[in-house]
Amino acid sequence: MRRCLIAVLALGLAACAGRVPGRDTVPVEFRAPSEPDAEVLPLLQNVTVLGVVSETNIEPQRSVDIERIMGRLSDATARGLSNLPHRRVVSQDEIRWHFKDVVLDSAHVFSDSVLLQMQQELELDALVHVSLRGMEAHMTPVSPGPHGSAVHAPGVNLTVELELTLINLETGDRWTQRGKRSSWERVQQDVVGGGDRTEQQLLTALAGPMRDFLRRVSPPPSRQLRQFDISGD
């Protein structure tokens, strides 16, 4: 009896390890959903539909299409939130079309009446609000060079401040992340496509805080490896 128990225990341990004696197995890699950060998880309880809205108080710039930048930022946030399993994300375009007579800036989007409308009319359970709070550009006498060195050519150091807020519309609980990032690039001599390069530098600076937020709210799937039985028994 004791030998039988030992054999069963050994078989069980082998199975837990993904291998069963006498059976042919192959390793199979797949990606499994990851849980949000423990601080954020309570705000996502019973949430199945999320919306995304972005806004900024930055004045329009001649070399940068701020509206286009914010649109791309909200679209990227919506794509990142798709990592959350069994949840649907409502885009900014759909929300703004529905509230076309309402200014969805930070002074209005957080009002009780607008949040209640989003909950009742769009059936949102939660909202992610993306706000570009600040942007500063400074000329520098040197520019980034290869291997982390600097070259004696004018450069632009662009610093942005991004604020992202997750709101549970049922409970009213909020979680906010604020972050500053900089992007340093050499000034291009030609003027053709200069605006596109400035926008790209701005997106590069914004990508860091946005990734930090999504890593906590909607982390990417984790890599899993399992042994699958192919013996045919």
- Long-range Cβ contacts of 11-18 (<8 Å, 24+ apart): 17/227, 18/226, 18/227
Backbone angles phi, psi at 50, to 5 degrees: -120, 145
Would you state the pLDDT for residue 224?
74
By C-alpha distance, which of 221, 203, 44 is closest to 128?
44
pTM of the model: 0.75
Q: With respect to residue 205, please indicate whether it lies within any of the assigned structural domains.
A: yes
Q: With respect to residue 127, please indicate whether it lies within any of the assigned structural domains.
A: yes
pLDDT in tens, the chain (233 residues): 555 544 444 445 454 444 555 567 777 776 777 889 999 999 999 999 999 999 988 877 777 788 888 899 999 999 999 999 999 999 999 999 999 888 887 778 889 999 999 999 999 999 999 999 888 877 777 666 666 666 676 777 788 899 999 999 999 999 999 988 877 776 664 444 445 677 888 888 888 899 999 999 999 887 777 777 777 65
Q: Distance between CA 204 and CA 167 in Å, rounded?
A: 26
CATH classification at residue 152:
3.40.50.10610
Would you state the pLDDT for residue 201?
83
Q: With respect to residue 161, please indicate whether it lies within any of the assigned structural domains.
A: yes
Within a 13 Å sphere around the CA of 65, how many CA atoms are in the beta-carbon half?
A: 12
Question: Beta-carbon neighbour count of residue 180 at 10 Å?
Answer: 14
By C-alpha distance, which of 53, 48, 61 is closest to 78?
53
Q: With respect to residue 182, please indicate whether it lies within any of the assigned structural domains.
A: yes
Q: With respect to residue 232, please indicate whether it lies within any of the assigned structural domains.
A: no
**How many structural domains is the chain composed of?**
1
| Contact present, 125 and 131 (Cβ < 8 Å) | no
Q: With respect to residue 233, please indicate whether it lies within any of the assigned structural domains.
A: no
> Residue 18 has which token pair?
């993904």
Would you state the pLDDT for residue 227?
72
Residues 6+ apart with CB under 8 A from 174: 43, 165, 166, 167, 168
| Contact present, 64 and 202 (Cβ < 8 Å) | yes
Would you state the pLDDT for residue 183?
79
Domain span at 79: 2-226
Amino acid 69 reads I
Q: Distance between CA 68 and CA 185 in Å, rounded?
A: 21
Residues 6+ apart with CB under 8 A from 200: none
By C-alpha distance, which of 81, 195, 202 is closest to 134?
202
> Residue 28 has which token pair?
């199979």
Would you state the pLDDT for residue 8?
44
Tell me which H or E stretch contains 76.
Answer: helix 66-81
Q: With respect to residue 123, please indicate whether it lies within any of the assigned structural domains.
A: yes
Q: With respect to residue 208, please indicate whether it lies within any of the assigned structural domains.
A: yes
Would you state the pLDDT for residue 220?
85
